[in-house]
Structure formats: C-alpha cells, structure tokens
Amino acid sequence: MLMAAQCRKILWPALALVVGCLVTTGMAGNPCCSYPCQNKGVCMTTGPESYVCDCTNLPFYGTHCEHPTLMKRIKLWLRPSTDTMHYLLVEPKLKWLWSIVNSIPFLSRYVMKVIYLLRADMVDSPPQYNSAHHYVTLEAAFNSSYFARALPPVPSDCPTPMGTKGPKELPDVDVLLKKFFTRTTFLPEPMGTSVLFTYFAQHFTHMFFKTDFSRGPGFTWGGHGVDVTHVYGKDKADENKLRSFSGGKFRMQVVHGEEYPMTVGQTGTEMLYPSHVAEENRFALGHSFFGLLPGLFVYSTVWMREHNRVCDILARAHPEWGDEQLFQTAKLVVLGETIKIVIEDYVQHLSSYNYQLLFVPEVLFGEAFQYQNRIMAEFNHLYHWHPLMPTTFDINGTRYAMKDYMFHSEIVFKHGLATMVDAMSKQRAGLMSHHNHGPSTLHVLRDSILHQRELRFQSLNNYRKRFNLPPLTSFEELTGETKMAAELKKLYHDIDAVEMYVGMLVEKRRYRAMFGSSIIEIGGPFSVKGLLSNYICSPQYWKPSTFGGEVGFNLVKTASLQKLFCQNIKGNCPTVSFRVPDFDENEVIDTWDGELGHDEL
C-alpha cells in the first residue's frame, strides 16, 4: 500500500485543486465504493484497487479534499450551523428581531438575496449526473428526458447496495412498511398545517414531478421547472383542447351558478380515469391524474377561473389585443402569480420562519445566477409527502372515507367551491413522519422505496454531507428515541447504510418545523433554484411589458393565496389558510435540543 508520504507534496492549496493524491486501498472491487472523497471531491478509479480524489475548483485540498483553504476555513468558522440558523429564524422569543428586519425594506431584501444565493448555489448547474451512469457524461447535461441527480448512483460493482456499509441485501420493503410506516392512529401535523396546504403541495409540484414509468423511474415526461403545465396541459395540443379561442379564455361550464372545467367528452382531452367514473364526471384538467381527488379539482378550477379573470383585466387595458395575445400574456401573469404564492404563502408556511419571505427577483440582477434548472431525482422522491393526507375528509359535517373521496370530483359540485375551501382550511393535515401512511398511500411508499433502490440512491448520510449537514452518528440520533432505533439497526447494521427516503421518514422532527432537518435542508435548495431560475425572474422578462403593462405586473406583485380564492369565488370569501384557524402555537410540544455552535471544519 502506498503511504501518504509518497503522494506529491502539496505546496499550496491551488495545486491540490487540480488533482488529489493517488491512493490504494487494498480492497477488492471498486475502491470508490467507500466514498473516500470529501466536500464534493470526485472519486475516480485509477486501476482495480486505486483511486484519485479530484479537488479541482473546490475550496478544499488534500488527499481526500479534506482540508479547507484559509478563506474557506474562515467562512466555515463564521458560518452558524444549519440547526442554529433554523433556531434563530423560528424561535418565538426572537420575533421582535425579525419584526424589525421585516419592517425595513432594504434590510429585508438583503436577507432575501442572501437566502436566494446560498440556497441556489448548493444545486449544481449544469448537472453532472443522471441515473444511467455513476460518472460524468454529456448525456447528463443534454438528455433532459432524464431527471438529473445531485449525487451519482452507487456503482453497481460495490460490495453492498450502499457502497461498503450495511447488509449485502437491503431490508424487505414489506417489513419496513409494517414495522415503521403503517398508520394505526392518525397523527396530526403539530404545526397546524391544513389540508388546503396538502393539496396545494400536490397540485403545484406535479407540474414538474412527472415520472415516465414506461421508461423507468429515472425518466420524466415533463419539463424541468415551474411551467404551469399543471393548469394548461402537457403540450400545445392539450392546451388547445382546453381553450375557447375567444377573449384568450379557457372553456368553462356553469354548474349551480359557478364556472367549472369542461368534461373529457366535451374537449377530447386525455385524462386517467378508472372505468367506473361516469362520463359526466370525467373533467378535462391540466394534468392527466388531477381527477384523482376533489382537492386537486378545486385547485385546477380556481386557477382556470383566475386565468379567465386576468384575461378580462388585460382586455380592458388592451382592447386592441386579440385572443392569442390575451391568452399568452395571461399565462405569463398566472405563472408569476404562482411563484409569488409559492414563495410568500407556501414556502413561508413550510419554513415557519419569523422572517417574511419575499418574491423579489430583481435582487439577483447583476449577480452570477443561471436562469436554467433541471429537476433532480432526489427532489422528486423526497417530496413524497403522503402522510400529510388524513384518513377521512370532513366537509360541512359530511365525512368521506378515502375510498369514497378518490375519483369523485363531483363532490365539489355537491358542496360548492367556497365550502370545499373552507373545509380544507379548517381540517388538519397529517404528520410527515413514520407510522402515518394511510392504507391508500402505502403502495406508493412501497414503490418509492423500490424505485430508489433501482436508481441506486446513495445513503441518507451521503446526502446530508452533500448539503452541508453533519452526518448522523447513530440510529438514536436519527430517530430521537431508542425503540425504533434498535429495530432499524437490526435491519441496516450501520447508520451510513440507511436509505435516503426511509431515513427522512423516521428522522426526528426539527424544532418548530414540519419535518426533520434532512428534508428541509436538502429540499430547500432545489425549491429556491427551481423558482428563481424561472425565465420570468430574469432581467429580460421581469418588466411590465412582459405582463401586459403595469396592470398585469401589479397582479403578479400583489398575488396571494387569499386573493386567488376570494377573487374567484362568488359571495363571501371562505376561510383560506395553510394553517388551521384553531392552531395555537403556544400548544406546540417542542424542545430545543441543539447547540448554538458552528459547523465543524
């Protein structure tokens, strides 16, 4: 075995950024399976038992890219840990501080700029990997039919599914479902999250989470960003089927005095409905499976109404415009409204921050920021939030079991849109955690775990390190208790062998948060990059003329969840909230068990 002294002496950090030292392992098989390279260093084999860590363009050097440069060392020393930052942002006793920041525009915008840049910088652009290869290829960058990858797949010639750690065969998926995930008693979300939030998450994310299972779980049949195809259809042909070609509007039908989407029979749109659904209840929506649940039908309906409302406003401002220009400009406005609502209502609720998040694309103008995005397979999988779904749905005194709720969008006609929104705002969602998957979603969880294995996802700890989280050192640290930790240890043997999504579901909940730290810190960068890299956020698009002048621009800049519903529902506005009205934050059972320290160097 070569000794460290045999490596080329590193005279200064810049040399180490070019190439790491050659090392032999003495271990049969692919030596990169042990993931010896740190801090995003790239491991490359140089023979059957040797490898090199490439530290090029990284602020780290050394045999394994383990040593930070002087400047990086200072930055790491000054940077609070992710848990410390989370605590400072959510702690109720510090609300006074963030109230001051929120009230000073230039300071609030500066904080938002820092958040944008820090989060987005953690996502590789352009992407280096897809699920076909564990090394860099041109296909990863140019073949957009693949989901990209934040980390490459585990090499297929490794001793274990996670590289070198853990058992040679991963635990039986049905054992995992039975031991850790099946719901016996509904566990409510402790931060007061409503069912209205649950459906927003599902409706919004399925515009870009479109797995092409006909080709495999690593492929997508959609685009790679916020393109509002969940409202307008997957392509031009579908979009045209939904249009009236008059005044720029969607075709709509009137039921009980309210406007709703047309049916499949009336439009010829392709939707996924089981055979037992009556023809008159097969509605034509932007996504093929949004007829699955009434909650998705509610959001599809309100966005189509909003599009038509925007067309009316633009037509008054531009009587010279024809149908096509009205339609295309209204679509841009709806896209802008979507991102505004996602950041300032949806992500605001997700974060539980005392700081008020802002949608201000102009703060990035002049910065080194790329307006392009690729959806990562890991982002797609970590967003499987099915435990948020309750066991039953309570609507104006009527309780529906899931089997009586699925594929029955006509329930919205029975109760009316206002009553549906009010009910969803007042019913609490489920806890995103272990032992809280209802019977209707267990098969989805089963498939998700199997798909991750097929795609050879790396371990949860590898993803934590990739996104600047300290690796977990024990099963007890992962779960925050001892009983489940012991069961997991029997199955996985080593904390470094725990699968990504399995680990995220059993991870202890973060202080005053909906999820554990892994989902928050790994998912956050993908979200920010995907939203702010949208073309309309670029200097070329972000101007009044894009949206039909100041009238359209103001619709985008003043959009909110409340307005979306209240301006598209006749009569009194219902309760519209991602947090149930009876939530009392003083009743949240939470303890801070972190330390106000810094990340280790």
The whole-angstrom separation of Cα 471 and Cα 166 is: 16
Q: Strands (DSSP E) along 207-256, which ranges? A: 252-255
Question: Which member of 206, 224, 230, 434 is catalytic?
Answer: 206
Are 375 and 220 in contact, with CB atoms under 8 Å apart? yes
Residue type, 290: F
| Segment 203-207 long-range contacts (CB within 8 Å, at least 24 positions apart) | 203/230, 203/290, 203/295, 203/296, 203/299, 203/300, 204/230, 204/338, 204/342, 204/346, 205/383, 206/230, 206/287, 206/289, 206/290, 207/231, 207/286, 207/287
Question: Which member of 353, 383, 400, 541 is catalytic?
Answer: 383
Would you call 206 a catalytic residue per the annotation? yes
Q: Return the bridge partners of 546, or none.
A: none
Are 500 and 382 in contact, with CB atoms under 8 Å apart? yes
- Neighbouring CB atoms inside 10 A of 162's CB total 28
Q: Return the bridge partners of 428, or none.
A: 194
Q: Return the bridge partners of 45, or none.
A: 51
- Tokens encoding 450: 């199997």
3-state secondary structure of 567: coil
Would you call 415 a catalytic residue per the annotation? no
The whole-angstrom separation of Cα 437 and Cα 434 is: 7
> Among all chains, which residue has been given the structure tokens 């016996």?
184
Q: Return the bridge partners of 219, or none.
A: 146
Q: Please name the residues in contact with 249: beta carbons below 8 A apart, sequence gap of 6 or more.
A: 243, 307, 308, 311, 326, 327
- Neighbouring CB atoms inside 10 A of 323's CB total 16
Among residues 75, 64, 31, 82, the alpha carbon closest in space to that of 464 is found at: 82
Angle between helices 417-426 and 195-205 (to 10 degrees): 110
The whole-angstrom separation of Cα 419 and Cα 423 is: 6
DSSP at 67? E
Could you list the active site residues?
206, 383
